[in-house]
Amino acid sequence: MSNSSLGAAAVALGTACALAGIVIVALGLAGRRPRWFADVVRLVTVMTAASVASVVIMERALITRDFTVAFVAENGSSRTPALFNVATLWSALEGSILLWTVILCGYVVAVVLKFRHRRDDPMVAWAFLTLFVVCSFFFLLMLGPAAPFGSFDPPVGYDGRGPNPLLQNHILMAFHPPVLYLGYVGFTVPFAFAISALVTGRVGEGWLLATRRWTVMAWGYLTLGIVLGAWWSYETLGWGGYWAWDPVENASFLPWLTGTAFLHSVMVQERRGMLRVWNLSLVIATFSLTILGTFITRSGVLQSVHAFVESGIGPAILGFFGLIVVVSLGLIAWRGDELRSPGRIDSPISREGAFLANNVLFAAFAFIVLLGTVFPLIVEAIDGRTISVGNPYFERMTMPVGFVLLFLMAIAPVLPWRKASTTVLSQRLIWPAWIGVGSMVFALVVGARGWAPMLAFGLGGFAGGAALRQVVLATRRQGWRGLVGRTNGGMIVHMGVVLIAIAFAASNAYVRQGEFTLQPGETVVFADHTLTYEGSDFVEYPNRSERTARVNIDGAKVYEPGIATYPFAGQTIGVPSVRSTPIDDIALSVLQFPEGIDDAVILRVTIQPLIIWLWIGGLVMAAGTVLAVVPGRRRQPTAPTSAPIVEEVMA
């Protein structure tokens, strides 16, 4: 059989299993199939095998350049390097849905293994029903508007164009989308248990405990995926930046914001039995925003460097998004009386008060980003005008929120539950405050100017000092276990956030950029750096040709930015080169090799401080996430009157 036939059969089999799963679980809930879980295990096994088989078949088609598969004909090429040929799977619409589905099936397998001893629990059954519904939707997409295994009759000697050149010139393309999808898809599990809690009426803390680590890991993957995407953009696009408030960047950032708010507020519910409606709404919003992000990314309705071409998938995803929102809001309204919290905030100067303020700010941040992202769509739908919302809107609106969030990062960890005295606050904040002042003084000494970056340095030092204080105290009391557990790992994450915030502020405030026309042997001094143009080279590769400029930086090393031409794709793109140090980055981009001027080059030089700390901060956040899922010391509710309702725990 051909790859097209085998792949289509695998997709059909997976679809049948997902739909059968809905029926089997529904019958089990109705009491007509007592041994439903055993059937679910078999269905999940076959469904996952079918999903894995479809990915393997597509990769086989890509590797063997089987142009009888339409996806390979449109996106593959015999000239594509091996690594990027494998990554072609997620470089276009149909393949990305294949990747999404196989990751989703992997999560379902993990849920089966985790809850195999809870087969008689209705909450688990409803969670499986929800998971099968989501699986069915994505499998049905592959049977309809996003069918990956369509047939093509290639003429003799046919060779494809290959993926977009921007997607085959940096190794991060092989890792950024899969890691991001692990985060996106991972939020399906807490969403499924949130829906299950609403349906069964068990809206206390049991579902939170059941999904705590699933949520943390999904958030960690999403965080790492976003950081890798920013790194890819910085290294590949050659515009000297790493975050442009692009619609698809925003699409990944939105669920990160609501997911972050959820991870903070869930502690209030576990500890005080409060914010039940808020937590359910946040986890549902996070999953809904991953679906909305898929719509933005895959439908082509918004122009983006990432967005794929328009297709019929848009209405289907938008309809599924609408269904999720309507059903979820209906369930929350239905359970309104049972969602009333048994506890209340005794004082705004308390940890729960700080977490509530934190949540309001994250929600405001998400609303600002969502409005700026979809506003062009709304305007176009109403009166047909095409507009865009640029960086000034996002930067002006999000900067104040970001500063207040940094401030809350400093004070929230040191606040006690229920109520704090001024004496306690002064004792716990004195050293973080001095670190914040020291950070501002240090920034001033090394040349920082302007209120915004100075405030970022000060608040960053304040927040970092508070996190460091907590980690030091925990390690003194508990030894190495002071580095693990949700609270202690969270402090490591906070340190990573501080590094990113300071690097973001410094790199944006003190960026210097210049354009120079240079002859071979000519030297230019820019921002205290010496750059010498030594000439150019021309190199032919199987999939492209490159003309590169040899530029010596500070007499130490030669860097080679260039321009690459992909003849079969009909595109010419820049190939930047970056020198990174802990102090600053020098990014070189060739704008043009002017004709008629012997071996001259027009070179753009972008110098930004502390860029490398963005990537280090992302890695610190990833490490903190791993530490946060390692079991730490168990804590008890603060008081019996505020204790969560006792439920059967499924953690």
d(CA 160, CA 77): 5
The beta strand positions in 412-544, using DSSP E, are 512-518, 523-526, 529-540
Choose from 96-110, 142-156, 441-455, 533-547 the range with maximum mean pLDDT.
96-110
Q: What is the pLDDT of residues 463-514, one digit of tens each?
A: 999 999 888 888 888 887 778 888 889 999 999 999 999 999 998 888 999 9
Residue 303 has pLDDT above 60, yes or no: no
Q: Which residue has the higher pLDDT, 419 or 306?
A: 419
Residue 306 has pLDDT above 60, yes or no: no
Residue 421 has pLDDT above 80, yes or no: no
Q: Mean pLDDT of all residues in the chain?
A: 86
Kindly report the CA angle at 43 between 40 and 48, in degrees rounded to 5? 120
Torsion (CA) 46, 47, 49, 53 in degrees, nearest 10: 130
| pLDDT band for position 342 (cuts 50, 70, 90) | low
Residue 69 has pLDDT above 50, yes or no: yes
The beta strand positions in 482-553, using DSSP E, are 512-518, 523-526, 529-540, 545-553
DSSP 302: S
Token couple for 141? 């997409």
Q: How many residues does the chain have?
A: 651
By C-alpha distance, which of 345, 275, 239, 225 is closest to 587? 239
Global confidence as pTM: 0.90
- % the chain with pLDDT above 70: 93
Token couple for 151? 């047939």
Which residues on neighbouring strands pair with residue 565, listed in sequence order?
545, 572
What is the model's pLDDT at position 307?
A: 46
Residue 646 has pLDDT above 70, yes or no: no
- Residue 640, CB half-sphere, CA atoms under 13 Å: how many? 0
What integer is the mean pLDDT of 340-366? 81
d(CA 249, CA 229): 8
Residue 643 has pLDDT above 50, yes or no: no
202: region left, alpha or beta (phi > 0 left; psi from -120 to 50 alpha)? beta
Q: Kindly give the residue spans of alpha helices, DSSP state H, lying in 516-646.
A: 612-629
